[in-house]
Amino acid sequence: MGKYLCKLACALFLFLTFYVNAQTYPFSNLTINNGLSNEQVLSIFQSDDGVIWFGTSGGGITRFDGKSSEYLTVKDGLADNVVFSIAKDKKGRILIGTNNGLSVFDPFSHAKSKSARFKNYTTKEGLSHNRIFSIMFDENGVALLGTSRGISTFKDSICGKLHVDAKLDTSSIFRVMKDSQRNLWCSSLGAGVFKNDGNITLNYTTKDGLSNDMVFSVMEVGHNTIWICSGEGLFELVDGKFDLINPANLDTTITYYNCFKDRNNALWLGTSHGLIKQKKDGTYTLFKKQNGLVDNSIWDIFQDRESNMWFASDQGGVSKLASERFYIYTTKDSLLADEIQAVDQNSGNGEYWLGTKRGLTKLKNGKTKNYINKQLAADVSEIWEITHDGKDLFYMGTANGLIVTGGEKFNRYNCKDKEDRMNSVVNILVDSKGDILLGTQVGVAQLKDGVIEPRRDIGIPKTYVSKIVQDQKGNYWFCTDDGLFFYNGKTVKHYTEKDGLPACRVKNIIFDENDNIWLATSVGALVTKNGKFVNITSKLALTSPDVYSIVKDHNHHIWAGVSGGVVKINIEGDHKLRYYDGDYGFAGQVCNQNCMIIDKNDRICVGCSKGFVIYQQEYDSDNTLEPITKIKHIDLFYRETDWDQYADSVSAGDIPYNLELPYDKNYLTFNFIGVSLTAPEKVSYKFMLKGFDTEWHYSDETDASYPNIAPGKYEFILYACNGEDVWNREPVIFKFEIAPPFWRTWWFYGLIAAIILTGIYSYVKIRAANFQILKQNEIIEEKNETLQHLNLEIAEKNQNITDSINYARRIQRSFITSEKVISKLLKEHFILFKPRDIVSGDFYMAFEMHDRTLVVCADCTGHGIPGAFMSLVGISILNEISRSRTYIDTTEILEEIRRIIIEALNPDKLETGGKDGMDVSLISIFKKPENDMIKIHFSGANNSACLVSAKDGKVKMYEYKGDKQPVGYYSSMKPFTHHEIMAQKGDIMYLFTDGYADQFGGSRGKKFMSSQLKQHLVSMFELPLHEQKEKLDKLFMSWQGDLEQIDDVTVIGIKL
């Protein structure tokens, strides 16, 4: 089959019919560059959640929700990465036909791993062959599988073989179809077409009129009419007779892969040489790469729930066509230039006249005829305006004069002074009297006796006149940079703010059937209401308020050309707006000034900065379907979480039910999606956390974060909008609860109340006893002198003890590796060392061994003097290890320290014996890089090591966890784990004890927490290390406030 398809892919001669234009349509293409796993796409499917599934040849399945892609491959449990077909059974399971069996994916499974949600079936389970090309369900819900060896069946997890005909049972069946008469049709790769009516099987081959026995698809297109897509042409079978049909006059030997009927009964044909659409009136359109299609070879065709058409290609990926409402002509279609500055149409023959900087293009039925500037006149520069007098003459306003033509001969007219700026003609009006009035850069002029002359008599100032219009009463309206002027033939009126018109540049004026005035201005589209001008487009979030063009169609709509698209305004009622930009197929970008017309077929034609755009009303329809909205996942402190420990159950999408979180697990991020594939970029959301928010949040982002959620019951409420103001009727609601800390529970309140009552009772008793106490005061005063003497003795002894402890600190500091030694070993580093007491239970060390540098960060059992004694034991052991150089691996070093500590403190390993020890982070940094990467070994006891690295412009922390056991005696001791880390130059390795994270403080007196420390380390990655140390120190002091330091603090940062 592969060789045959390669042969069919050879370039063949192709030409277009009368109905086919070379214009570009608004295809949206999906390739490996924007989310597709493989660009050879064999099948398309849409699941109930609105997500599109693409079966590929070698890349497994790509699931696309309009914003992001997810992949299913053999690693996730899929039977094979070549996926020919995807379908859904009555139970909602997804059946996937692959090159190596049938995969059944259960979207309702609560299994956490994807592989557990797959079940695969092969010939071992009863399939006739493992290669499954197609899946079709009959009226009984039985899946008929077209395989490389006949038809297999599948229902209720049971595989079988459908025996139809001896030849069919051994043929490669590519597609299976049942017609309206319940006849079974099978297309085969090499054996023609089979038809079975339940009793008799007919086999149609080249002997019966087919050109080729390679048949890819069979479809019933009408009553008793079958179309057959073959390797050499398209055939129609009517009453047993074959006819070769040739849509779009293509070469009759090309390959037809697929036929599809959409919801409007249009037929789509995927071929090796483009995509064909046959409309209901029998006319055809051919789409190819030059029309925007991703590739000319189309394998599969699909229509989603919103009626978007999807086309799977052989080599290029996938194309989506949301609508044919717009198409565009550019220089690719032989226009003189992409920027079209003037547009008009010959009302007789329908020919478009397009003015550009380079000259004139005449366009009709996709064919162009170009006239460069020199062909129009000797020194003409560019065309700004084209007007047809409705008879035989066209008038063209240029940068240096007026050109009049009746066909191929062009006559130019100027002012007497050719340097006069009045030669710059930007607008032309042939009025009811036949006079030719001109809008120029410096006022109003008239062509009279072959000369352009100024019309100062009208009273329009010397300003840019962009449009002159004559109304039905014969009055004149002048749109200028100085505003709007009215002239009745005798007097002129200037509309100003007194008349309700804001100060602005007026570019065009039209009148609707209700005699309302509509203006295109620099501040928006304005319409008269109650004697004032109202800005209609101000409610739109446009990049610029400028409206460059304005026209009225025959369907009660005003069309306004803006920067980025066009706006359709309903004349009636509240002037409903619909904005069409690039996401809705408008590819012209900026609409040029007064460059929009309604052609003879009532189509909107727009000259734009990127081409000539035509709007077709018959293809425009509103998307009335609301998005399919769901919460994709919920993160706790920006991390995925095992919700089983906090919830009653977890859904198939990993969403917890009856979630109850402790008070300190109170930072949630909701990740969600509203699937609307017509214009996914336009999907927007509103959400609220009921109990937390006081108003709705509006956003086009797909996540919402809520930090520091107080204890209580909450509901996250989510709505999505499809971009055309269609919102979800019912919201997505997620309920959860944050449990209060014990000091905010009813029993604690009761305890406090009891304490208060007891205090009151005690107060009364104390008052009664005060009298007796007063009597005893004299005795107490006599004893005070004795106590003062004793206090002096105690103070003297305390000073002696303090002096001894300070001396012990000097001894401890002498054991710890000095900053001078560490600076030689680690060129760029910082050490934040903050003992809780005078002496510390934390210590750090750095020393060389062979070809590496070892760094230790340790937290010994206890604080103060006990911790300090333990730290000296640890330092002594490490010094002995560094001198002996016997142990070099990090795990061996920790094992040796543990052995010595146990022998010294608990040699009999008794449960009642000493359990002193230490929590340690130990890294070994190799001096010589490997492939420009720095190798690091790490082992830890209750402590972790964190590496912060910047890759692809993103800073990320990688945490390597130590073993959950101390270096010392432990009831379930096990060997320490060895971690090998490959880092790049510039990465930062952090080691720290638990003192920083365990410190109480902040506004609520809570622990700082290690997660918050890690977030700060990531955020400080770009800072020099000495600044990081200062910032960490200030942050710690600020967090601690007036509270006591509860533990020794050590944080080490090393730049690699």
3-state secondary structure of 174: strand
Angle at 782 between CA 779 and CA 785, to 5 degrees: 145
How many Cβ atoms are within 10 Å of 328's Cβ, its own excluded? 23
Place of tokens 């809705």: 584
pLDDT given at position 908: 64
3-state secondary structure of 478: strand
Interatomic CA distance for residues 550 and 483, integer angstroms: 16
Instruction: Please choose, from the candidates 436, 514, 525, 429, the residue with its C-alpha nearest in 3D space to the C-alpha of residue 469.
Output: 429
3-state secondary structure of 416: coil
Tokens of 159: 């595989």
Mention every residue, 6+ apart, whose C-beta is less than 8 A from residue 1037: none
How many Cβ atoms are within 10 Å of 281's Cβ, its own excluded? 6
- Structure-derived torsion over alpha carbons of residues 1007, 1013, 1015, 1021, reported in degrees to the nearest 10: 160
> Is domain 628-740 classified as CATH 2.60.40.10?
yes
- Structure-derived torsion over alpha carbons of residues 429, 431, 434, 439, reported in degrees to the nearest 10: -30
Average pLDDT per block of 10 residues along the chain, 1056 residues long = 36 29 86 96 97 98 97 97 97 97 92 84 98 96 97 96 94 96 96 95 94 96 92 91 88 93 95 94 91 96 98 96 95 94 92 95 92 81 90 91 88 84 94 95 95 94 96 96 96 92 96 92 92 89 92 94 95 90 93 96 95 95 96 94 91 90 95 97 97 96 96 97 96 96 74 78 78 68 67 63 65 81 92 91 91 94 80 87 80 91 74 70 93 93 95 90 91 91 94 94 91 94 94 95 92 96
Interatomic CA distance for residues 321 and 326, integer angstroms: 11
pLDDT given at position 793: 65
- Selected from 3.40.50.150, 1.10.10.10, 3.90.1150.10, 2.130.10.10, the CATH number assigned to the domain covering 22-256 reads 2.130.10.10
Q: Range(s) for CATH 3.60.40.10 in the chain? A: 818-1055
The residue count for the chain? 1056
pLDDT given at position 616: 94
pLDDT given at position 9: 33
Q: In what order do the strands lie in the sheet with 256-261?
A: 256-261, 267-271, 274-278, 284-287
Interatomic CA distance for residues 209 and 601, integer angstroms: 43
Phi, psi of 34 (to 5 degrees): -135, 35
Q: Range(s) for CATH 2.60.40.10 in the chain? A: 628-740
pLDDT given at position 5: 35
Dump pLDDT digits (tens) for 63-73: 999 999 999 99
DSSP 289-323: GGGT-S-S-EEEEEE-TT--EEEEESSS-EEEE--
pLDDT given at position 800: 58
Place of tokens 């399971």: 93
Place of tokens 């959409």: 262
Mention every residue, 6+ apart, whose C-beta is less than 8 A from residue 325: 580, 584, 585, 615, 616, 617, 619, 620
**Contact in structure between 144 and 176 (CB atoms under 8 Å):** yes
Q: Range(s) for CATH 2.130.10.10 in the chain? A: 22-256
Residue 276's alpha-carbon distances to 23, 230, 247, 272, 1052, in angstroms, are: 15, 15, 8, 11, 67
Dump pLDDT digits (tens) for 656-709: 999 999 999 999 999 999 999 999 999 999 999 999 999 999 999 999 999 999
Residue 112's alpha-carbon distances to 649, 654, 669, 896, 983, in angstroms, are: 12, 7, 20, 41, 31
pLDDT given at position 801: 60
- Tell the CATH superfamily of the 818-1055 domain: PPM-type phosphatase domain (3.60.40.10)
**Amino acid (one-letter) located at 345:** Q
CA 427 to chain centre: 45
